[in-house]
Chain A
């Protein structure tokens, strides 16, 4: 067969085994030096950074290496008393993205008492629009990512009924495209990351029946390139984080066997940094906590038994989802 797609070539000297200890060391050391340039330059996404690191540590069963009380205190101080929302860091403004990250972290720690839960519910519900969509904050940006944040956040708080779920679903469905995929708003092109958000929303709202499952899953499995890696849109380069967006969506669609697991596993392992620990977007790039989480979570979906089971809808340990008695939908086949 002839291939002339955009892709990478895996080198022979790439990492081929899972370097768990190194990843745990990498995350434990990340942010220890508060004057580190990279660390300071990502302050505006800090809350998500904490979620990525903690979830990765949870999946490796290394949670104790995270500074728990410091994290919880930090989250408490990031809640805005007026709106109820939570910001990325102290001094920054509350936003849906970081409100979700904070709630996910507190759910894993089972410490929802550290925040004003009613305030969070008030913040999230206030951002739903008449068409069912959600703003990210009061400034009016609309995106299906925020729909997913809203339903995930409220379901973790057992307060999903606080919003109009039917309308939230209708809005997400209005973003469906000719290929069965979804974009960020009505009319937007399909993109694996946003497909994860939309399928995840339908999984939590138990409306997976509305998907064109075969068309969508085919588009998703065609994201796999000869290197084994997955891209996020046709004719794009592979990127480790798409092993999560694509594979979690396929898991919810109950069609994970439509991709080649062995070559994907090889690609994910090749994205490890054997020196410093951590995963990067592509082999040979600089690692970060974001790709470290999605590398580990992807391996978990592929059935790697040295990593804890991850829930494909919530991107959190399955044991947390079980403790909260949540049952996101997986499609029948």
Chain B
């Protein structure tokens, strides 16, 4: 079904080909019929081996025929006390057959699996030969993922040192830097070979730095070769991340807690404790988004919340000192905020390397100012080194990319939104801001980190680029009373969550259907402005 080019032929040629096919088909059908007959009569013998083998050499994906062969081999295995010469020969023949089939179709799942089955079934498999076979096949096609998978299977059996396999990826990469399969395999071995046990980072400093250098020499050789850039993006993300409580909100109506990452009910129960006037409150945790793992959890309890209460939330993680968050009263709400930061934190040597690479990128850009990959890498390096300091430059480059790499304009738009919101969030938390309104010039196209604003009673998303795909995300706005989506690009209200609003402003969404809004109004008991 893949890669078969349609060729124009004469009628004569066509007829000749058809005749050829019909002859082949006759032979095929005859052989298959014979196979089914013998199987039905339970004649699982060498003749059936021969028959199935013949058909498989030209059709290696007829899975049932491989099953039949395994059934026959199993019978021979059970019949013989020890693995006699005949069985050894049969296994060897089976390996030869799979090798033959793989020559015809190197992507035949069935043939690869048969090979694996033979080697795990027979005694004394020769793993060295298998590894040599992998090397040979990978020389022929360095990207065949079946061969790489088979290699990992062989390695799991004969267990050479990790270092040897790591060096193999180096060798493959020095041969061709655009071998994505080798970068992939390298990423797997690297974290096993050089984890940073002390600082809890995924990769040990010196090696992290070394890998960055390797990427530099690869990517800067040919910036349009994408493989190394994906590896670099991963290296940049290899920082320590931990789950953290972000904000707790207690009103007379509802108590919620938001975490930076989705967490399970067990986790909230185990770590989080509400104290009112120094008495621990009993209650039940309910998921805000109705799933097993949620960013926002609702705490259902029977306490009546009045003015000037002393409200605290204790957050007790494993291996970390207990954190007590004071919830401060603002109007009818008590809000307890944690310290937040989105800045990635690297070790000193790694930061130094990143700065060096930033310089190289800038140099490349003076020669080739339009190169997408250099531009994108520059933004990521800037963002990772100091997101706040370089913010304006980052946004400018992303806007340039939206024009130069139009195909991915949607991605760059969402990235501008995300990084701008992150910067604003840090400010809003520091300034104990009570409302959400967008304070930067770029229009937002999505709602990342919205759960950080779960405490807001007033959410003003006036005049943005939001479409209906974001509606379900609004479910985290558990305390919101006034929500404005005025002047956005909503096309439907399908997916709008159930919220305890007082007012929803939908004006200026010109593709919204009047009828749909009318029905929506009837279904909800708050004021809908349209």
Contacts and interface: CB of A to CB of B under 8 A. Distances in A.
Interface string A35-48: 10100110011000
B181 interface: yes
Contact of B152 (A87, A139, A187, A255): A187
B473 interface: yes
Interface string B185-216: 10110000000000000000000000000000
5 contacts: A5-B224, A87-B64, A139-B117, A239-B2, A333-B447
Given A139-B113, A222-B226, A235-B226, A207 B293 contact: yes
B472 A332 contact: yes
A318 to B, nearest CB: 12
Interface string B1-39: 111111000000000001001101100110000001000
Top 8 closest pairs, chain A to chain B, by CB: A178-B187, A257-B410, A209-B262, A260-B407, A332-B473, A37-B21, A178-B234, A92-B64
B152 to A, nearest CB: 5
B25 A40 contact: yes
A312 to B, nearest CB: 13
B188 A187 contact: yes
B70 interface: yes
A329 B293 CA distance: 13
Interface stretch (A23-31, A118-126, A283-291): A283-291
Given A139-B113, A210-B293, A221-B408, A93 B64 contact: yes
A152 B13 CA distance: 46
Contact of A189 (B4, B184, B231): B184
Interface of A: 1-5, 35, 37, 40-41, 44-45, 87-88, 91-93, 95, 137, 139-141, 143, 177-179, 183-185, 187-191, 206-207, 209-210, 214-215, 217-219, 221-222, 224, 233-236, 239, 254-255, 257-260, 263, 273, 280-282, 284-286, 288, 290-291, 329-330, 332-333
A188 B59 contact: no
Contacts of A139: 66-67, 70, 113, 117
B230 interface: yes
Interface string B117-149: 100000000000000000000000001010011
B460 interface: no
B54 interface: no
A136 B249 CA distance: 49
Interface string B368-384: 10111000000000000
Contacts of A333: 414, 446-448, 469-470, 473
Interface of B: 1-6, 18, 21-22, 24-25, 28-29, 36, 59, 61-64, 66-67, 70, 109, 113, 117, 143, 145, 148-149, 152, 178, 180-181, 184-185, 187-188, 224, 226-227, 230-231, 233-234, 237, 262, 289, 291-294, 368, 370-372, 404-411, 414, 418, 446-448, 467, 469-470, 472-473, 475
A177 B109 CA distance: 21
Contact of A233 (B28, B143, B414): B143
Helix, strand, loop or mixed for chain A's interface?
loop
Contacts of A4: 224
Contact of B224 (A2, A210, A218, A291): A2
Contact of A263 (B36, B372, B407): B407
B408 A41 contact: no
Helix, strand, loop or mixed for chain B's interface?
helix
Contact of B405 (A1, A140, A177, A281): A1
A40 B472 contact: no
B473 A189 contact: no
A288 B188 CA distance: 37
B372 to A, nearest CB: 6
A222 B418 CA distance: 19
Contacts of A332: 289, 447, 472-473, 475
Contacts of B293: 207, 209-210
Contacts of B143: 233, 235-236
A1 B237 contact: no
B64 A188 contact: no
Contact of A281 (B2, B59, B418): B2
A93 B237 contact: no
Contacts of A288: 1
B230 A280 contact: no
B25 A234 contact: no
A160 B306 CA distance: 45
